[in-house]
Amino acid sequence: MKLLGFILLIILILPLSLFAQEEKGKVAVTDSANLIINQLESGTIAGKVKVIQDPRLTSILRKHFEFNKTSSVSGWRILIYKGPLPRANQLKAEFEEAFSHLSLRVNVEYNEPDFVTLVGTFRTKEDAYRYKQMLIARFPQAYLVQTRITLD
SS3 category, 137? coil
65 vs 31, 85, 128, CA distance in Å?
10, 37, 29
Q: Provide the residue range defining the domain that includes 36.
A: 30-44+53-70
Answer yes or no: is 20 within a domain. Answer: no
Q: Exposed (0-12), middle (13-18) or buried (19+): which is 97, by Cβ within 10 Å? A: exposed
Amino acid identity for residue 96 in this structure:
E
- Statement to judge: residues 61 and 120 lie in one domain: no
Number of domains making up the chain = 2
Amino acid identity for residue 32 in this structure:
S
Contacts of 144 (CB under 8 A, 6+ apart): 76, 77, 78, 79, 125, 128, 129, 132
pLDDT tens figures, 132-146: 999 999 999 999 999
* pTM confidence score: 0.55
- Statement to judge: residues 39 and 101 lie in one domain: no
pLDDT tens figures, 56-97: 888 888 888 777 776 678 899 999 999 999 999 999 999 999
